[in-house]
Structure 1
Amino acid sequence: MSYPPHSMSSGSRGSRRTLEFGRTYVVRPKGRHQATIVWLHGLGDNGSSWSQVLDSLPLPNIKWICPTAPTRPVTLLGGFSCTAWFDVGDLSEDGPDDWENLDASAAHIANLLSAEPADVKVGIGGFSMGAATALYSAVCWALGKYGNGYPYPVNLRAVMGLSGWLPASRSLRSKIEGSSEAARRAAFLPILLYHGTCDDLVPYNYGERSARYLSSAGFRYLTFKSFDGIGHYTVPREMSDLSNWIAARLGLEGSRS
């Protein structure tokens, strides 16, 4: 592992403080444990709010792990401190990216999944900044390593992102395209992306562009779906569609429709 499971440096913005991950919430499976998914909240949120949403989904054979990001100053918010998986200044494809803390969060997520039984399928999902971190993890899985070169340790079976974006999309696409092995691995990972057309926080075109970059990099089993008139939030039909996709992709038995 490249980082300890519960701490991380605040990293590339020059601070030397050590930031601690917050509380992790777990939703136990109500049926036979077939899959475990780490679900990542958005900027300023915490794992508790999503654990309640996920507990209501008709997926009795999934264990949900909902960690809470460290509290850190966020450049996009003028330095205001809140829970965030990494620092972000803007969402452009060439904007500065907090590689150190993207790696640290991806490693923390992998640590949570590495303890799962070998016969349990594992995946990562998230909303907004959580979706961005999930997509970064997907790229690390395809490359077989984090951005810092340490090996990526878990075998992802599915990645989901709601209202998110791929950080440093152009750079990460180039890394995958430059490795035939990474492109081969990418071709086998199902990815689901949803985005509201009226999202005023993470604009729709950012999500659409990220999906295009991932597809061109070799992620062949990527589904991008737009929700007309929806802003930066989820709606019941989106969560229902997400549940159906997860059950189908992970081959779960006994899921309620």
Structure 2
Amino acid sequence: MTTYLPCQSREPEGPVRASVIWLHGLGADGGDFVPVVPYLELPADAGVRFVFPNAPVRPVTVNGGMRMPAWYDILEMNIDRKIDQASLDVSAQQIGDLIEREIACGVPSERIFLFGFSQGGAVAYHTALRYPKKLGGVAALSTYLATADRMAAEMDAVNAELPILICHGSQDDVVPLQLGQRAREALQGLGLAPQWHDYPMAHEVCLPELQQLGTWLTQHLSEEE
């Protein structure tokens, strides 16, 4: 029997017609993004269930081995971001289990979206690009593609046209803008066409970004109807 990550959720007023699984950043928890959902300004009849999983608590090397919610261990904080890929793989599997749970609840896979901030965005990329069923899309916020060197071999062809929205702060001193740009270039090299937006902010989210996120999600939900 599958053991799922603990999650918070936000249900739509009417029938569930789509799902967003939103992954928080390092040291945060699933409740981090619950309050921002109204700022997406989705149509009243969008029917989106939001699922906010909690990352497991584990030691994080770059933080002196301190235990905290983390999707994977970060071994070095240089520009190349050396990480523990085994723990990233486990987290991707756990998010895959949540996707399958949404499918079992009646949501078509192509109407399931992964949103991820910072470390959560790296997991969203890693999960979605390798997923064996067509997904609705990925919104990657202030993040990077941690496994770019693996994607040519591991990317699943069913998501070869996966819609991707990349948002990044031009003043981000945690995940530098350069890492977001590298992700865009790597995705383009895989034949994808990510949409890019940057904002004059640090390692955070802002209202114009959330509004853009809502516009992008609404657009792709209407395309799948």
Superposition misfits of 4+ residues, deviation over 6 angstroms = none
- Give yes or no for contact 1:75–1:89 (8 Å, CA) kept in 2: yes
Indicate which of 233, 236, 254 corresponds to 2:204. Answer: 233
Matched residues, number: 217
Matches within 5 A, 1:1-257: 4-6=2-4, 21=5, 23-59=6-42, 60=44, 61-90=47-76, 96-116=82-102, 117-119=106-108, 121-141=111-131, 144=132, 154-169=133-148, 171-175=149-153, 182=156, 184-220=157-193, 222-227=194-199, 229-251=200-222
Task: Give the structure-2-normalised TM-score.
Answer: 0.87
| Residue 49 of structure 1, CA deviation | 2.2
- Give yes or no for contact 1:92–1:168 (8 Å, CA) kept in 2: no
| Residue 252 of structure 1, CA deviation | 7.6
Q: Distance in 1 between matches of 2:121 and 2:62?
A: 17
- Give yes or no for contact 2:17–2:107 (8 Å, CA) kept in 1: no
Q: Distance in 1 between matches of 2:30 and 2:201?
A: 23
The answer for unaligned runs of 5 or more in structure 2 is none
- Give yes or no for contact 1:34–1:252 (8 Å, CA) kept in 2: no
CA RMSD in angstroms comes to: 2.3
- Helix, strand or coil at the partner of 2:76: coil
Deviations 1:132-182 (A, max 9, x none): 1101112212xx4xxxxxxxxx4311111110011132x124425xx7xx4
Give the share of equivalent positions with the same residue, in percent.
31
Larger helix share, 1 or 2:
2
| Residue 198 of structure 1, CA deviation | 0.3
- Helix, strand or coil at the partner of 1:38: strand
Q: Distance in 2 between matches of 1:91 and 1:137?
A: 22
User: Alpha carbons of 1:224 and 1:46: their partners in 2 closer, same or farther (altered >3 Å)?
Assistant: same
The answer for unaligned runs of 5 or more in structure 1 is 7-20, 145-153
